[in-house]
Amino acid sequence: MRLVILGGPGSGKGTQLQRLSKALNLPGISVGEILREAIAKNNFLGVKAKSYVESGELVPDEMMIQLIRLRLLQDDTRKGWLLEGYPRTPFQVEELEFLLEDFKQDLYGAIYLKLDEAIEIERSLSRGRPDDTPAIVQRRIQGFTERTTPILEYYARRGKLIVINAEKAQATVEAEILRKLKS
């Protein structure tokens, strides 16, 4: 099963990625995590991505496309994967479609963790990560809403959007996702 997890900052994407990865026994791929790790290691990707991640801007598409292609070619992805943080723009949606076509694979669905903007801000600020300052959080949320609306519409049109109320407790959100995947 191949799933993408969509949601604004602070919507619990990372948490649900870990939980679902265990529950479904599939690799959970967090693009933000891969980028932050690369920056910490100061490797080729990290050096290139650093200034974007640290200012809350999107990393350029060419870099992201390569990163995703390489990651989805790794051995652990054969039975499927859970992808969080990608696609984030309509362009990336298209690129993911091309990639899956190329791999002769199918996306099962897009899980959307729906949350009020005020709660997104509050939750993001309480994480205390270096790239979670109020200005950066605000910019990410604005960008998220602008860019994500067409993505949600795209998956909804294809009958692939699974909308989840992300305000509930983590275990409840997870149970709700698993229930909807089975139905």
Nearer to ligand AMP, 80 or 143 (CB): 143
Nearer to ligand AMP, 52 or 175 (CB): 52
Peptide bond connecting 130 to the previous residue in cis, omega within 30 degrees of 0? no
Q: Do the bridges between strand 28-30 and strand 2-7 make them parallel or antiparallel, or are there none, so unpaired?
A: unpaired
Amino acid at 124: S
Nearer to ligand AMP, 132 or 175 (CB): 132
Query: How far apart are alpha carbons 162 and 169 in whole angstroms?
Result: 18
What's the closest the beta carbon of residue 3 comes to ligand AMP, in angstroms?
15
What's the closest the beta carbon of residue 143 comes to ligand AMP, in angstroms?
8
What's the closest the beta carbon of residue 102 comes to ligand AMP, in angstroms?
19
What's the closest the beta carbon of residue 38 comes to ligand AMP, in angstroms?
10
What's the closest the beta carbon of residue 64 comes to ligand AMP, in angstroms?
5
Nearer to ligand AMP, 79 or 129 (CB): 129
Cα 129 to its chain centre, rounded Å, is: 17
The HSE-up count of residue 18 (CA atoms within 13 Å, CB side) is 6
Give the tokens for residue 79.
């039975």
CB atoms inside a 10 Å sphere around CB 45: 19
Nearer to ligand AMP, 6 or 24 (CB): 6
Residues that bind ligand AMP (CB under 6 A): 9, 31-32, 35, 52-53, 56-59, 64, 85-86, 88, 92, 140
Position closest to ligand AMP via CB: 32
Residues 6+ apart with CB under 8 A from 24: 1, 80, 82, 178
